[in-house]
Amino acid sequence: MTTQPMTTQPITIATLTAAEAEAALDQLADILVNAVAHGASVNFLAGFTAEEARRFWRGQLPGIAAGERILIVAADGAQLVGTVIVSFAPQPNAPHRAEIGKMLVHSAYRRRGLGARLLAAAEAAARDAGRSLLMLDTQSGSDGERLYRRCGWTKVGEIPDHSLTPNGRLAPTSLYYKKV
């Protein structure tokens, strides 16, 4: 499945249920494969396939169904073009925390403010769920890091050689938090 560039319809931001996410597995997979193919360091390496991406998203469904995480998407009409996951900390001493992950915008839709809109929606969803402290990590120097800084996140530090980029190069990871 190939995502086509912008239509004349406004891009919408919505939360998907587990059933809706399951019905959209191919579109979710397309966004994730596209992100990895364009260098996003989001846990996967070059050669990442659509089937592997569908398997990742299928693995998220139980947590979405159980209310342990929220999947927020950006859509251009019926086509999904961006994602972000809010995962609630499960520890008894952390009912106030959540983590942001899989903050992705399809390459055909970047540089149009969708990342900021998705992030704002994730922050609002976390706040609405009673979470006041959000955390995330991102590859140091990435587009994601620039987005988080612009959106008011605070950098805690950096871990050298934390993970491999999709092309197999060791890269540092920056840790961020935001009170919402």
Mean pLDDT of the region 128-132: 98
State residue 4's pLDDT score: 52
Q: What's the rounded Cα separation, in Å, for the pair 116 and 100?
A: 13
- Structural domain includes residue 163: yes
Kindly state whether residue 61 falls inside one of the protein's structural domains: yes
In a domain, 25, yes or no: yes
The secondary structure of residue 130, as a DSSP letter, is T
Cβ(34)–Cβ(59) under 8 Å?
A: no
Q: What is the pLDDT of residues 77-98, one digit of tens each?
A: 999 999 999 999 999 999 999 9
- pLDDT > 90? residue 130: yes
Looking at residue 5, what is its pLDDT? Answer: 55
Q: Is the pLDDT of residue 3 over 80?
A: no
Residue type, 124: A
Compare 6 and 74 and report the one with higher pLDDT. 74
Residue 1: pLDDT above 60?
Answer: no
For the domain that residue 160 is a member of, what is the CATH number? 3.40.630.30
Residue 9 pLDDT: 79
Q: What is the mean pLDDT of residues 138-146?
A: 96
At 99-127, the pLDDT tens digits run 999 999 999 999 999 999 999 999 999 99
Residue 180 in this model has a pLDDT that exceeds 60: yes
Mean pLDDT of the 171-176 span: 98
pTM comes to 0.94
Query: Does residue 45 form part of some domain?
Result: yes
**Alpha-carbon distances of 134 from 70, 90, 123, rounded to whole Å:** 14, 14, 8
Residue 8 pLDDT exceeds 70: no
Whether 58 maps to a domain, the answer reads: yes
Q: Is the dihedral of CA 12, 15, 17, 23 positive or negative?
A: positive
Q: How far apart are CA 67 and CA 81, in angstroms?
A: 23
Number of domains the chain contains: 1
What is the residue range of 64's domain? 11-179
- How confident is the model over 15-60, as pLDDT tens digits? 999 999 999 999 999 999 999 999 999 999 999 999 999 999 999 9
Query: Cα separation of 25 and 105, whole Å?
Result: 16
In a domain, 1, yes or no: no
What is the pLDDT at residue 7? 53
Contacts 24+ apart (CB under 8 A), 31-36: 31/3, 31/80, 31/81, 31/82, 31/83, 31/104, 31/105, 31/106, 32/56, 32/57, 32/83, 32/102, 32/104, 34/3, 34/106, 34/107, 35/104, 35/105, 35/106, 35/107, 36/166
pLDDT of residue 51: 98
